[in-house]
Structure 1
């Protein structure tokens, strides 16, 4: 019976949804920033797969259905941006300057880490798209010769880390402007950061959605140019 359940085409899907639901319940109960639902779900799934000795292909047989929804879900983030389009027009120049600065900072940090720690070239270029949404990052990494698995892990870790520390960063540095908060979350934490921005407010969500789009475009342009610099 257990084998039938585990080998079911929907096992990974049901397990992923259940783990995320438990993550949400834990976050709502504890109110602790570190209890990010995605982080909790990831840990629960890894532990369960190890305990039951289930390999990844078996799990992904059902979990892959969630991947198909990734791009449509990302597109839906444009709705808050549409609602706050006037703010975008009023602050267009400074918004794009801020996002360009964020992209450049990301590449400088990754390049500096690769140089300092003598990271292998393939791993280094796999980390370059870490701050954009997974749907774009996977294709971009494969195009420049990186490893998509490393990129996906980097994207998820970056998004979770950004959403967890963002409230503290805003508090410590007195960043109270909703536009700045939204841009920071979207540029550094992509879709996961945007989910946090949705909790903060409509303007934050709109600016975070914009940041995902602009950061994604800039990254697609810059990464192929930066990849040859990794030796």
Structure 2
């Protein structure tokens, strides 16, 4: 019981500090709380000599809370759909294609590289939000760490490259920019959308939630 309380305290304290650093940095994309908290947790485990697998086992209640948050995604998703207007169908078709390419691309790359199946499965949900991706990975702490790294790198690249790609393709509608940032950069994309298109942050949330839900459905079909 004491070990569980200590693990939960470490997780919550790490996230609180990471949130403070994120605000102090002016909401910089590289200071995203999820990544900062991960670094702090790993540092705490190293300092106190704790086992990562034990830490994961003692913080399952937090994972259950994240699963509940995933269900609640349906609320902003429904609200944002009403603001899309004529863009609703094109945006959702694009989301379906993007999700399919993301999942199928990883599976194809893993097959071409003869990568171990558990490694491929850990990377496949990289386009989903962190709670969804972790809920789709069945494995030890090492595989979950690989999933966290894949999700973070995907979000970082999506948040940094999406505005450049849309600008060079002469897409000027801010609604599209916000939605695509949510699709390609998930949580990190929201940070970017909040800075660039604050009036359409709900559309970025819709893109993130929609991609997470479609990715979960595809991974549930292709992954055992």
TM bucket by the smaller chain?
0.7 to 0.9
Asked if structure 2 preserves the Cα contact closer than 8 Å seen for 1:162 and 1:193, the reply is: no
Q: CA separation in 1, counterparts of 2:109 and 2:119?
A: 11
Q: How far is the alpha carbon of 1:222 from its aligned partner? A: 6.3
Q: Structure 1 193/34 Cα, relative in aligned 2: closer, same or farther at 3 Å?
A: closer
Over the residues paired in the alignment, what is the CA RMSD in angstroms?
3.4
**Does the 8 Å contact 2:174/2:200 carry over to 1?**
yes
Cα distance change, pair 45–124 in 1 and its aligned pair in 2 (3 A): same
Q: How much has 1:25 moved relative to structure 2? A: 1.9
**Structure 1 residues not aligned, in runs of 5+:** none
- TM-score when scaled to structure 2? 0.75
1:36-51 maps to which residues of 2 (within 5 A)?
36-51=32-47
Single out whichever of 216-225 and 100-109 deviates more from structure 2. 216-225
What SS does structure 2 have at the residue aligned with 1:217? helix
Query: Which residue of 2 is the match for residue 96 of structure 1?
Result: 92
Q: Is 1:25 the counterpart of 2:17 in the alignment?
A: no
Q: Which residue is equivalent to 1:160? A: 152
Q: Distance in 1 between matches of 2:159 and 2:11?
A: 27
Question: Is 1:128 aligned with 2:128?
Answer: no
**Count of aligned pairs between the two proteins:** 217
1:30-179 equivalences under 5 Å are 30-31=25-26, 32-60=28-56, 62-133=58-129, 136-137=132-133, 140-142=136-138, 147=139, 149=141, 152-173=144-165, 174=167, 177-179=173-175
- TM superposition shift of 1:69: 1.0
Using structure 1 for the length normalisation, give the TM-score: 0.73
Instruction: Kindly report structure 1 stretches of 4+ aligned residues shifted beyond 6 Å.
Output: none
